[in-house]
Structure 1
């Protein structure tokens, strides 16, 4: 390929590779520039190395965005079933974990290899060049010129697929936002998502039970998730906490129902059936011992049930169902799996991902203000938005 092509895609991650494959199969000549030494680095570490490549239930309701309707078009036109069909066509064995999460039986490398094979199908040409750090991007009316340390490349179209700033140790940066702003596009303030939350003050006591986890229902800003919460030496983590972290804002409380399967009045029933039992022993039947002990201690009910008024037990029940933590922060982009915010969807066509004010510029994947839940949703957005742009190039 000479240095001029139909499109330059910045980033050889999930969205960039999917976009390149679809454009190449439509006969386009595409150059993919990736600053890392190999493509698909984030794919390779995902799902513990097995890649949680989609979620069978993925739909618009599983995504956050300043415009919750934006993702509907792309997700409807390229669904999790479509991606699963592609996976199966390559003979890649997979399994479903909880809540519709699909993983490779083998390795995440299989997904990267599949995407590279899709890029090689033609009839167009896809040239993937790694180790290409972007020095500058210019537009002279007809041509986007991208300069790297290795050369200068020109194309009629430019696709921003460089992701967000989460997991900086993988080389992630806010480059996509800087580039969008260079071309006058608005950016919704980015913040860490799917990230552990930190605790301070009196809540530091819970650090004593670091490593203890339990199935709970966690809630932040009306978003609730029934999954496991994990206490850490810095605060709170586990799937339920990572999920609500995307909705949490500094200063907000996070509410945890420690016993979501227990009905109203269960402590009074426990008292009636065994007046000599204690709150600690009752909690130990349902929760890990160390967690049960610290909750009982915090509630201050230490005597046998027979000596505790029903009113106090009802108050304890209420607190256990809505235990409020006020995180003093999160572990930031370093530990965040994804980013909330990004290039504003108001700037883009929901059908093609093309900039409304800068024809020829497209933005896809995590660079855009569309963020999925934990469990394969963000990959599905990468595939769907990549296909939308790849078919429009």
Structure 2
């Protein structure tokens, strides 16, 4: 291990997924690497992900499943370090896994196995990890970065920003990466919560009374659509479909939900033909949870038997049910967001190496960068791939 007076080859700020991956790969390439984190344990976001089982990648990973001001930026790293590559690492460590829906891969047992795997890889590369070390200053002079941390000072010609974004502050997440980037003159795309529940107000308050009801929907915003479950909460809307669409939603815009994604065209008129004495409420109860069916029927305001309701009114009701508009008044913020959208501008970085174009030796990886994946293991794959790409260049 290098002494304190010896410069490391690289200092990685952040012991999360991207930082540990970068450090392990660089260490095994013969680089002397130091990882510094203010947290008391590594990989905190990994540990809480996937209900404690870590949705560590997605086999359907592709660049079009990531949001960024530059949609092409992620292609290089994602193309060179794939879900298959990470899965091979998982299997080499004997970690049992399973695929859930939509290509999502999880540990059979515990997310702790992924953290242990990354730490073992770091150990194999001789990486030094210092936890509980708050960073008090970072400077750059004469080709060396100097990091003051926890009463110590470390120097290296390369510095990797892997401190993530401000999502989930209760585990210690902050906007430190952005402050550091700005210190070195790098632009930051305004960060906002992503994969986050949406809040409702006004006319949509009715749905708050349905807290706990979940149903499959297609959530749409513009040309983007996700088919998964939506969950009605006491504050608004959540569930996988809503978390997905939240990354695309902007204040003031509407989202629409198709509450009947499997219903054939004209099904309400057909129901009228087969059960003319039934009500809209009972027809909806055949497709939806009772409480939701009752609330939607009340809003449609078509009382009486189906047989007495004109076909055009039923067709109009079905159209509304397949594109029910909500205009959220906000989100539940970084406290409930799974990730951050925005971050260090990709225009400042090399897509091949993640190195800052104007600050040689400075790199940024993972969630600190303006690359945000869909729900379902995509953000972890970006962490692995971007960390690996930076490690190749260190």
Q: TM-score range by the shorter chain?
A: over 0.9
Task: Show structure 2 runs of 5+ residues with no match.
Answer: none
Alpha-carbon distance, 1:220 to partner: 1.6
State the alpha-carbon separation in 1 of the partners of residues 322 and 111 from structure 2.
39
Question: Which residue in 1 is equivalent to 2:276?
Answer: 275
When the two structures are superposed, what TM-score results if normalisation uses the length of structure 1? 0.99
- Aligned counterpart in structure 2 of residue 71 of structure 1, from 69, 74, 98: 74
Determine if the alignment matches structure 1 residue 88 to structure 2 residue 91. yes
TM-superposition CA deviations, 1:266-293 (whole Å, max 9, x none): 1111101111111101100010000000
Alpha-carbon distance, 1:221 to partner: 2.9
TM-superposition CA deviations, 1:321-365 (whole Å, max 9, x none): 100001000000000000000000000000100000001000000
Determine if the alignment matches structure 1 residue 16 to structure 2 residue 33. no
TM-superposition CA deviations, 1:153-208 (whole Å, max 9, x none): 11110000000000000100100001000100010010000000000011111011
Alpha-carbon distance, 1:100 to partner: 0.4
Runs of 4+ aligned structure 1 residues displaced above 3 Å come to none
Alpha-carbon distance, 1:120 to partner: 1.3
Determine if the alignment matches structure 1 residue 49 to structure 2 residue 52. yes
State the alpha-carbon separation in 1 of the partners of residues 349 and 123 from structure 2.
28
State the alpha-carbon separation in 1 of the partners of residues 191 and 3 from structure 2.
37
Alpha-carbon distance, 1:142 to partner: 1.1
TM-superposition CA deviations, 1:227-275 (whole Å, max 9, x none): 0000000000000000000000000101000001112211111101111
Question: Which residue in 2 is equivalent to 1:131?
Answer: 132
* 8 A contact 2:132–2:150 mirrored in 1: no
Question: Which residue in 1 is equivalent to 2:317?
Answer: 316
Alpha-carbon distance, 1:9 to partner: 0.2
Question: Which residue in 2 is equivalent to 1:117?
Answer: 120
State the alpha-carbon separation in 2 of the partners of residues 390 and 128 from structure 1.
16
State the alpha-carbon separation in 2 of the partners of residues 69 and 90 from structure 1.
32
Question: Which residue in 2 is equivalent to 1:371?
Answer: 372
Residues matched between the structures, number = 391
| CA-atom RMSD in angstroms | 0.7
Task: Show structure 1 runs of 5+ residues with no match.
Answer: none
Question: Which residue in 1 is equivalent to 2:305?
Answer: 304
Question: Which residue in 1 is equivalent to 2:231?
Answer: 230
SS at match of 1:36: coil
Determine if the alignment matches structure 1 residue 260 to structure 2 residue 261. yes
Question: Which residue in 2 is equivalent to 1:176?
Answer: 177
